[in-house]
């Protein structure tokens, strides 16, 4: 009986253990989510010289979390604060530029913002982006072409693993379901309907 109790306890522990990290691929993109469901997608970009960099999309599991579009350069092209970085979607001509305000570990800078902002929507809808890095110290702009084929599939996998399917905060598999906290916030701003005033009684004729 004691042995059976131990086995049952082990089964329950295994069933409630956190999910293992997951890795997946879609065409030019690969993705992974850790045990906390912090998800990162990656694709390599290449310069005409053959040098490569990495374009990454990162999203925490929190409701309505931002998607960070991250540029990771090789250390030979070290980023410094103030370096202009531009992402251009070649088919549409859409551009987003930013001066590096902070350099993260791994020689990275990020474009932060909402999951449905124009940059993310453009990356999903097209096939090639160009990342231009104005390396002032080198006196030149270094350009990398990055394939976008597969990025939508990877973001859809983020939605599935992070439990966003059919929710308003999904990146791809969006729907009308509220995300945690959304209903409470809307309730604060939605006026409570007031009852119509009763019609005044007609005066009694004397």
- 136 CB-near residues (< 8 Å, 6+ apart): 82, 83
- Cβ proximity of 180 and 83 under 8 Å: no
pLDDT per residue as tens, the chain (206 positions): 544 443 334 343 333 334 567 999 999 999 999 999 999 999 999 999 899 999 999 999 999 999 999 999 988 778 888 889 999 999 999 999 998 889 999 999 999 999 999 999 999 999 999 999 998 656 789 999 999 999 999 999 999 999 999 999 999 999 888 888 886 444 445 555 555 544 444 444 44
- Cβ proximity of 59 and 115 under 8 Å: yes
Question: Can you give the pLDDT at residue 191?
Answer: 55
Question: Can you give the pLDDT at residue 3?
Answer: 46
Question: Can you give the pLDDT at residue 6?
Answer: 38
Question: Can you give the pLDDT at residue 166?
Answer: 94
Chain-centroid distance, C-alpha 38: 10
- Cβ proximity of 29 and 41 under 8 Å: yes
Our CA angle for 46, 148, 99, nearest 5°, is 65
DSSP state of 177: B
Helix, strand, coil percentages in the chain from 3-state DSSP, rounded to 5: 25, 30, 45
Question: Can you give the pLDDT at residue 11?
Answer: 40
**Residue 71 in tokens:** 């540029």
Question: Can you give the pLDDT at residue 176?
Answer: 86
Residue 76 three-state SS: helix
């Amino acid at each position: 009986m004691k042995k059976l109790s131990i086995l049952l306890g082990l089964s329950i522990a295994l069933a409630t253990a956190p999910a293992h990290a997951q890795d997946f691929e879609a065409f030019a993109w690969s993705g992974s989510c850790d045990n906390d469901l912090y998800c990162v997608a990656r694709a390599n970009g290449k310069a005409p010289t053959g040098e490569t960099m990495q374009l990454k999309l990162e999203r925490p599991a929190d409701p309505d979390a931002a998607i960070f579009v991250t540029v990771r350069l090789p250390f030979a092209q070290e980023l410094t604060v103030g370096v202009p970085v531009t992402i251009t979607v070649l088919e549409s001509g859409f551009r987003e530029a930013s001066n590096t305000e902070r350099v993260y570990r791994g020689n990275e800078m990020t474009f932060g913002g909402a999951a449905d902002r124009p940059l993310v929507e453009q990356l999903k809808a097209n096939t090639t982006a160009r990342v231009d890095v104005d390396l002032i110290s080198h006196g030149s702009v270094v350009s990398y072409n990055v394939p976008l084929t597969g990025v939508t599939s990877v973001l859809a996998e983020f939605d599935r693993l992070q439990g966003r399917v059919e929710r308003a905060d999904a990146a791809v598999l969006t729907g009308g379901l509220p995300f945690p906290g959304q209903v409470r916030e809307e309730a604060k701003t939605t006026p409570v309907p007031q009852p119509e005033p009763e019609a005044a009684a007609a005066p009694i004729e004397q």
